[in-house]
């Protein structure tokens, strides 16, 4: 079994939106903002190679949207999804399983490309099964007004021929478990991956960054923030007890961390790159 970090570039989002009701004077100590109050966020994916099957978790936002669309998110960074795959020794055709935590554009947009020759949208990972929770699929294809702008039909509908829906917590292959959370958006999959003696948890938008570990630090994007609080508390207590490795999708500064209990609650214990435990 091999694991590779797959970077797909960065985007900028409003710091207030990313930290909800927490005052800027508190969150900016943990995660800096620029003069426009924008914070820079990674779109970091994870490749898990089991030999016969190669999993990719999330795929960034891609590059097929309009210039007007991208002007709202300030895409930056020096690498693309396909370049990162190539640097790790893979091509899109090698991916057999595309696991999507949820269907917001910055998590699934890279899995669908626009073919200028046919003038159609098509799957980048043609040989892959696209795994999504049934709750999230139903939520995204009949979007509520709050999330509608994040669910783009051109990112979602082309998956249908290769789509596999999960209706409950599932071990897709031995050691790769899809666990469901509903606070951020219905049916978000948070993969738990067994690697040697460790459990690596791909945090998606349950915990976008290490800065979100304190319980009140909840995004304004979450549809059910009080449920997120409960989900975070239960997960973090479990992570501290069992020594989980938290892998961050959006944290520009930290790839991974472990957590422990303190007088102030669960907090970061140690931060490190994934290669520390995989090489």
Beta strands in the chain (DSSP E): 2-14, 38-49, 54-57, 97-99, 112-115, 120-123, 129-133, 163-166, 170-173, 176-181, 188-195, 198-202, 245-247, 256-262, 265-272
* Per-residue DSSP letter, 16: H
Q: What is the pLDDT of residues 3-62, one digit of tens each?
A: 999 999 999 999 999 999 999 999 999 999 999 999 999 999 999 999 999 999 999 999
pLDDT for 146 = 87
pLDDT for 86 = 98
Q: What is the pLDDT of residues 107-138, one digit of tens each?
A: 999 999 999 889 899 999 999 999 999 999 99
pTM above 0.85, yes or no: yes
CATH topology of domain 2-278: Metallo-beta-lactamase; Chain A (3.60.15)
How many CA atoms within 13 Å lie on the side-chain side of 79?
18
Q: Where along the chain do its domains lie?
A: 2-278
Query: In this model, does residue 92 exceed pLDDT 90?
Result: yes
pLDDT for 144 = 87
In 3D space, the residue among 89, 98, 150, 86 whose CA is nearest the CA of residue 123 turns out to be: 98
Q: What is the pLDDT of residues 182-204, one digit of tens each?
A: 999 999 999 999 999 999 999 99
Query: In this model, does residue 237 exceed pLDDT 90?
Result: yes
């Amino acid at each position: 079994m091999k694991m590779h970090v797959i970077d797909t570039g960065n985007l900028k989002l409003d710091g207030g939106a990313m930290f909800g009701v927490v005052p800027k004077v508190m969150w900016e100590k943990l995660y800096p903002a620029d003069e426009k109050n924008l914070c820079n966020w990674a779109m970091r994916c994870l490749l898990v190679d089991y030999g016969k099957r190669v999993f990719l978790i999330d795929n960034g936002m891609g590059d097929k949207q309009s210039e007007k669309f991208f002007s709202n998110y300030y895409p930056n960074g020096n690498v693309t999804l396909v370049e990162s795959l190539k640097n790790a020794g893979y091509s899109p055709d090698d991916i057999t399983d595309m696991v999507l935590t949820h269907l917001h554009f910055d998590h699934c947009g890279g899995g669908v490309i626009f073919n200028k020759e046919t003038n159609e949208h098509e799957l980048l990972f043609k040989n892959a099964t696209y795994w999504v929770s049934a709750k999230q699929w139903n939520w995204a294809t009949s979007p509520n007004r709050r999330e509608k702008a994040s669910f783009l039909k051109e990112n979602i509908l082309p998956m249908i021929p290769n789509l596999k829906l999960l209706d409950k917590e599932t071990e897709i292959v031995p050691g790769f478990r899809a666990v469901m959370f509903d606070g951020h958006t219905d049916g978000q999959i948070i993969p738990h991956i067994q690697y040697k003696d460790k459990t690596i948890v791909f945090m998606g938008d349950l915990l976008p960054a290490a800065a979100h570990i304190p319980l009140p630090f909840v995004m304004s994007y979450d549809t059910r923030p009080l449920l997120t609080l409960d989900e975070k508390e239960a997960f973090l207590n479990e992570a501290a007890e069992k020594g989980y490795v938290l892998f961050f999708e959006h944290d520009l500064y930290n790839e991974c961390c472990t957590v422990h209990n303190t007088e102030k609650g669960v907090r970061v214990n140690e931060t490190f790159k994934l290669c520390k435990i995989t090489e």
